[in-house]
Structure formats: structure tokens, C-alpha cells
Amino acid sequence: MRNMESLVLGIESSCDDTAVAVVNAAGQVLTSVIATQTEIHAEYGGIYPEFASRAHVVAILPAIEQALSEANIAHGDLRAIGVTRGPGLIGSLLVGLHTAAGLGMGWGVPVIGINHLRGHLRSADLEQARVKYPAIILLVSGGHTFLAQMQDPGKITLLGSTRDDSVGEAYDKVGRMLGLGYPGGPVVDKMASQGSPTVAFPRPMLHDGLEFSFSGLKSAVSRYLAETEAPVLKDVAASFVEAIMDVLLTKCRRALLDWRSASLVVVGGVAASPQLRSQAAQLCREMDVELCLPPLRWSTDNAAMIALATWDYLHLEKYPRPVPELQLSISDY
């Protein structure tokens, strides 16, 4: 045993990337390895799960070896292995879960099945404790869109989630309608930054609580493109992004008004959006709360956030078994 402090090994394989990380109890990241498949997917226009699951099988053991080697530790240094048990794709999840279960048995290290969503919510505290509690947290990604209130790292209340499509899905499908590549987020944001928001797209559920809906916006873009002769695509993109931002920021403002908060945290892949980052900063100045934007590398799927969430589970003495649960909600451990 080389390290006096105990460490957690995190494993994440819920969607397209295979990720392994080692994190200590303070949230310091000794190493974070991500075998990404974005390049493979770019050729085909989406995340293809069977590619993902085969690639997980190929990538996972080398990624674990690399992580242990980079962190310069041995398995005897591990207090626990935390592995994503859901939500996610069953085939991809199973690769991580089975690997973790096998290693845990062989090494004599406990294995805990972690809720991927709790990982995302904790990602903002990786490397340093950035989140001022109580906090409002917006998770915006391909698979998920929701607002939650965090009284402390372990006490999470779901405030509202999407009733249909996620923000990331809206970006990807509108990106495809506009003839742009995958993933849709960065390319749509970039095109939007060159256009003007001249089209009045709907803001679904804008005045309606803290729930979200983006399906109607996607439909409106589709209709506009079908009905308009020679549409100015950059203006369509700008109008779409403006509608998205209007909805996201209105809901964040409402949540901050409803809940006394010290900070607003924005995580998930869409947190990379320059438009979202600047408008959230403006909102936080107006509301006099701190804006917490974790570094972008922690906003997309990674294993360090899973490892940090694992520490919460250990502190709370929650030990879900490492078996897949596809329909986990944020309120589940």
C-alpha cells in the first residue's frame, strides 16, 4: 500500500465513453482517463450503442490499468469501487458493472452501484469545493434536462425535468435539420453566433413552473424549414438558441426566486454552450448569487464525478448493488 489516504476508483460506461478515475475524499482527482468515441460516431451521425458497447469491452481494462498506473497506486489503496449502474444503455452499463464486480471480488474491495445523475450533480465539486450550498443546479445534456435543489451534497430535491426531449437532443435534431454534423451542440451554437434571432420560435412551458418541454420547439424549427423558401440557416440557428436560452434562464431565475440559494450550478454537455455560460453569468449578477461552472472536462460524462459521488454514498452508508437500473431518478441513491 503506497498511499496512506484511501481512494475511490470510479468507473463510468453508461453511454458512449469508457471512463475510469481515481479520486480522494476531498474530491481531488489523481487521474481521470476517458476513452472517447466521438470520432467514430462523427462518421455516422450519432452515438451507436453497439459500437459503444463493443468499444467499452476493448477499452475498459486498459483504461483501469492506465488509471492505476497514472495515479501510482495499487488496488490495496482503494476504499471502494464506484460504478455507474444507471440510467444508461443496458449493454454499455453491463460492461462497466461486470468489470467492477469482477475486480472487486478479486481484489477484496467493495463495489457500489452509483446513480449517474448524482455523479453529474457532484461534478462541480471536483478538484476543489466550488459549490456554495444551498444551490440550484441545472443539468443539461443529451440524455437529461432538469433543475434540482441541493441543500448539501447528499440532500437533493428534483424541481423540474423535461417532459419530452432533452436540450441536447433538441440541439442534435435541429443540427441534423440544418445539415450540420454531430454532436449538434457546438456546431449549432457556432452557427447561431453568426446569425440574428429573426424567427419567433415558441418557448414551450415558459410560464409554467419548473418543468421543461422542447419537443414543440423542435417541431417549430422543422415546420419553419419546410415552409420557408431559402431559409437563412444561421438566423434559424440563432432563433433556436435564443428560444432555448430564454426557457433555460427563465426557469433558473424562477428556481432562484423560489429557493434561497447561494449559487447556481450549470453542468452537463450543454453547459459548454458559450451562450448559456454568458447568460447564466448575467442572471447570477442580477440575482446576486454565485455562478458555478465547473471546468468543461467535468461537464461531459467522466468517471471522476462517479468516484466523488461514491464518497457521498460511503458517508451516507448507502450501498446499492452493482446491477443495472435503467430508470433511476435523481432522488434515488
Partner 1 sequence: MDTFSVVSSGAADTSRLAATIAPILRFGDAVILTGSLAAGKTHFVKALANALGCTDLVTSPTFTIANFYRHGSGNLLHIDVYRLSGLDEFLDLGLDECFSESITVVEWGDMVAGEFADYLSVKFDFLERDENQRKVTFSFVGERWASEMALLKNKLSGF
The footprint of partner 1 (CB under 8 A) covers 15, 44, 46-51, 53, 87-91, 142-143, 161-166, 168-169, 173, 176-177, 215, 218-219, 222-223, 226-227, 326-327
Q: What are phi and psi of 171, to 5 degrees?
A: -60, -45
CB of 215 to partner 1, least distance (A): 6
Secondary structure (3-state) at 137: strand
- Least separation in angstroms between CB 107 and partner 1: 29
Task: Give the side-chain half-sphere CA count within 13 A for 237.
Answer: 24
Nearer CB in complex with partner 1: 98/176: 176
Alpha-carbon gap, residue 144 to 161, rounded angstroms: 8
Pick the closer one to partner 1 by CB: 263 or 300: 300
- Can you state the angle between helices 274-287 and 184-193, rounded to 10 degrees? 70
Q: Which of 22, 243 has the CB closer to partner 1? A: 243
Minimum Å gap between C-beta 208 and partner 1 is 15
Spatial distance between the Cα atoms of 63 and 67, rounded to a whole number of angstroms: 6
257 burial (CB, 10 Å; 0-12 / 13-18 / 19+) is exposed
Smallest separation (angstroms) from partner 1 to the CB of 222? 4
Nearer to partner 1 by C-beta: 53 or 310? 53
How are strands ordered across the β-sheet holding 155-161?
155-161, 145-152, 135-140, 263-267, 290-292
User: Measured from the CB of residue 109, what is the shortest distance to partner 1 in angstroms?
Assistant: 29
Q: Which is nearer to partner 1, 168 or 197 (CB)?
A: 168
CB of 158 within 8 A of CB of 174? no
